[in-house]
Amino acid sequence: MAGVRERGSRTQRPWSVYRATTFELSDEMIGLALAGNSQDPDEPVLEFSVVCTDLVTPALDRKPNSFVAVSCTTPPQAFWTKHAQTEVIEGTSNPIFLSSVAFFQESNINQQTQVKLAVYDVKDRSQGTMYLLGSALFPVKEILQEKSHRLQLELRSAENVRVGNITVTAWQMEDRADQRMSLNRLPDGINGRTVLTVDESLTESMGVRIKFASLCKDTLLRSVFGGTMSRMYRFPTTDGKHLRVLEQMAESVLSVNIPRQFVKLLLEEDAARVCELEELGELSPCWENLRRQIVSQYQTIILAYQETLSDLSDYRGPSFKASNLKAERKLEFMPTNLHVQRMRVQDELGFEHTYDVITIGAPAAHCQGFKNSGLRKLIHKFEEAKKHVYEEGCSALSSSQSIVFIPQDIVRAKEIIAHINTLKTQVSYYAERLSRAAKDRSASGLERTLAILADKTRQLVTVCDCKLLASAIQALNAARPEYIASKASPSADSEQVVLRNDQDTLLAKWSGRNSRSSLHVDWHEEEWEKVWVNVDKSLECIIQRVDKLLQKERRPSDASQDSTQSDQQGGGIKKGNRGKRRAFWINPGNMSEESLSSSSSSPLPPSSSPPPPPSSSSLPALSSTHPEHDSYGSPGAEEAYPGEWSEALYPLLTTLTECVAMMSDKAKKSMVFLLMQDTAPTIAMDLSLQYRRDVVFCQTLTALICGFIIKLRNCLRDNGFLRQLYTIGLLAQYESLLSTYGEELSMLEDMSVGIMDLRNVTFKVTQATGSSAPDMLPIITGNRDGFNVRIPLPGTMFDALPREIQSGMLLRVQPVHFNVGINEQQTLAEKFGDTSLQEIINLESLSRLNSYYEQFKEVLPEDCLPRSRSQTCLPELLRFLGQNVHARKNKNVDVLWQAAEICRRLNGVRFTSCKSAKDRTAMSVTLEQCLILQHEHGMAPQVFTQALDCMRSIGTREGVIQKNLSGLLPVRDFRLDPSLMYSLPLLALSPNLLVVWIFLSVAYFLAKLRCS
């Protein structure tokens, strides 16, 4: 394996890893070195670490608290631009900084670029007082030409007095031999760290798998994420080596894109609900008033969705919502501070490990407030109100026309509507495919499609064969204004299906006073049964006809003889009146009769020619049990057009689809009427609750889609994960740090419901239609009963997926949610309040997590899971988690750490949130990163605290604070006044300092306003 890597390095290794064989490098080679690594776009073109020695302060009895600010300028630019800064190291004259300074490809540096290193002494960290200790300059060309790629520079104060030394060591410039030199030849370490050079295999091992996972350059990820920030660190390990850590954070364009799609779907769903109510037809006055009230409520909520969709479509701001916009009405469907936090670790052998966490402000309906509590309590109140209405309905049943349905019937009604919509569409689709197969004379296609059509039709008949539908139809008929009149005097013009044998082609036509939109016949349960039996019988006729066609196809001699006879008959028909026409009537009121007279007149389809006098022959009804008679399976049509399969099947398929349409429409209307009765008493509360739930779910769904995309991309060639994905689904673990006190308690209620609603979400991976960024964006379909998210992948990535996922298998999600409050409000809750909600949430999620692992053990091998250096096996981790969840321990953060590790070990996606995804989230994410570095990669324990402080003070989470304060990107990306640039980053050193600074600024502004 090593030999393969060595041979491949000759062509894949970037110029930046070669050491110059002479003391001078040509400008061409320096240019190549600064051009970057084409294999890994995240590889910096130049990275160096700094070490200060012998720092001197004016007060000789005090050692400095120092940090280095790095600025650069490239001619002809005439001013300095802040690029980066190190962490603050306190109380030493010889600080060694863990954070390295990295220039990436977008930095556009060249050999003429000048780098300025300014060392600051922080006198009082809480107040932010500091002064410039000294500075030094060097050109980029100088460090590249230096044989050891190491510069020792003097630090000079503003008075040109020497105040110490600074050593700059460039990484990725040493060859393997120099890297293996003895540790005693290197500078002595401080704070447990030794500056080591890097193994050139860091870039040799950057294969295709890593190259395609860049947040900045990957075809898929760059279409979803943007505004990437990067920080570099070098951490020593317990065995004297080092880790190269790249920390990145990016926003997502899905913060706006997904809410737009989601609100549009909600708008369409509610508009369709109004249409369904309108299509119920004429109702008696009391029911009509009830319908008007419901429609009015829906129109109000539709107007709100329309305004939201318009606001989201007009939005042109950044692709994240700052925390001060949480309660902004126009943006309430957008998640707060949605970012992806990534840590990439390369060890001494060049192995790459990537850890991603999605950070998001707690999904909650901030705009609607929390005065009336959150979703959990609101849902409970709504269910109590429904229960009260049901009890009142049962007591008043004797004096009411309506039928009272139990809650289980309501759930069943929604399922029936969904099944009818799906199966009706599928029956029409496969009927069309059967017609196409007949036209192509494909025997195999005919048999295969017929089998599917028969299965779907029988499923539909099974759905409609239930007593709930029959009783709902009775209730709908009883709500008609002419109900009593129709019972006393049945209308002669009742609705019916007319089947006419016109020009040897069976056509179906609805007749009746009000077409199919309303029925005015008093159907009883047995009469409804005959409607779906009609569908079943028409299917049997199609099966018989196909069987006869296929039998004739297998007997060519008989078929040719029949063809000659039929041609003669056909010619006579064309020259004459095309034979006598036969009429079949399907009248629900007369289905029990043996035959139907065809002498009654009926309107013809628009395409029909003027009809001859109707036949006086009596024909059996469709429900006749004798297929050999001249009904659907009549051999007359066979003899008329032998071999013309499509014309032989067309009338039967038309009959089937029309009968299915009649049955489906009637069933759907009855179910809509049933749901109307159920929702009417609590419609205002129902829609208000649903709106809040939609807001919370949209925020949660957006984060989930981001997590799914980045996890799928990272594990595209991990066969174990892909097998787990399509077998038992994706584990999504949400970690929240909300207290159970005050408003955050209601936020926790909202968030827990939004996460549990993710169980109705499925994913489907498709091949992208193009290569542009819009072609890679996910597409949402479905409704509140279930949403499906289609994830387009470029062709090369899609081809790498297993066949099961390529074929369109729906991928499920198993969400779990663990919460532990950690702030001072949680202290109040634990002493004076109630923490039961947190305990319930954690217990529920523990149960689901155990269930997910049990499913995994049943169907998948252990080698599907990623490897870990931990000595604790998964069952033990789950047992420890269970103990901590059941333990009544205040602020038990062990629950969060163990749940996070179990999620990573089970190939899950991690989500972390607090109220705004700023301070508490930053603390959690950085702590998790340092724990991973120590437990999984052997980071030296003595630098744990320093590494944690380093990530928290100058890491990428600093950018979230800056963006929320000013709405701008970090100051290093802007050319501002130097004094401002040097002071602002210090505000991120401490959350307390930040709060004090904001408070004083506001107080100063108000005082100035009052004076003026």
**Does 914 participate in catalysis according to the annotation?**
yes
Q: How far apart are CA 359 and CA 916, in angstroms?
A: 10
Q: In Å, how far are 193, 201, 460, 614 from 181, measured between CA atoms? A: 17, 16, 77, 106
Which residue, chain included where needed, has tokens 């097998």? 723
CB atoms within 10 A of CB 303: 11
Amino acid at position 22, single letter: T
Q: DSSP letter at 106? A: G
Helix (H, G, I), strand (E, B) or coil at 45: coil
Question: What span, in angstroms and rounded, lies between the C-alpha atoms of 134 and 156?
Answer: 5
CB contact at 8 A, 156 and 162:
yes
Instruction: Give the dihedral of Cα atoms 18, 19, 21, 24; nearest 10 deg.
Output: 110
The string of DSSP codes covering 269-310 is HHHHHHHHHHTT----HHHHHHHHHHHHHHHHHHHHHHHHHH
Shortest CA distance to 709 belongs to which of 111, 257, 157? 257
- Please give the structure tokens belonging to residue 272: 């369709």
Tell me whether residue 628 is exposed, middle or buried, using C-beta atoms within 10 angstroms of its C-beta: 0 to 12, 13 to 18, 19 or more: exposed
Q: The tokens of 415 are what?
A: 């399922």
Give φ, ψ of 131 to 5 degrees: -145, 160
- Identify which of 534, 529, 540 has the alpha carbon closest to the alpha carbon of residue 464: 529
Sign of CA dihedral 870, 875, 878, 883: negative
Nearest Cα to Cα of residue 90 among 119, 132, 125, 56? 125
Both tokens of residue 437?
């197969």
Residue 302 has, within 13 A of its CA and on its CB side, a CA count of 15
Bridge-based pairing of strands 761-767 and 786-793 is: parallel
Whole-number Å distance between alpha carbons of 693 and 377: 12
487, with CB counted inside 10 A (0-12, 13-18, 19+), is exposed
The encoded tokens of residue 486 equal: 């129709």
Query: Helices (H), strands (E): how many in the chain?
Result: 32, 23
Rounded to an integer, what is the distance from CA 321 to the centroid of its chain? 18
Q: What tokens appear for 395 in the block? A: 């007591």
Burial class (CB in 10 A: 0-12, 13-18, 19+), 648: buried
545 burial class (0-12, 13-18, 19+ CB within 10 angstroms)?
Answer: buried
CA-closest candidate to residue 807, choices 762, 775, 768, 764: 764
Rounded to the nearest angstrom, the gap between the alpha carbon of residue 274 and the centroid of all alpha carbons in its chain is: 28
630 Cβ contact partners less than 8 Å away, ≥ 6 residues apart? 582, 619, 636
For residue 116, the cross-strand partners are 71, 137
Given the residues 464, 706, 715, 914, the one annotated as active site: 914
| CB contact at 8 A, 751 and 336 | no
Q: DSSP 3-state assignment of 79?
A: coil
Length of the chain: 1012
Residue 240, CA distances (Å) to 76, 181, 200, 217 in order:
43, 12, 17, 33
CA-wise closest residue to 247 among 234, 236, 237, 232: 232
Distances (CA, A) of 527 to 199, 315, 586, 588, 705: 83, 56, 12, 6, 48
Catalytic positions: 914
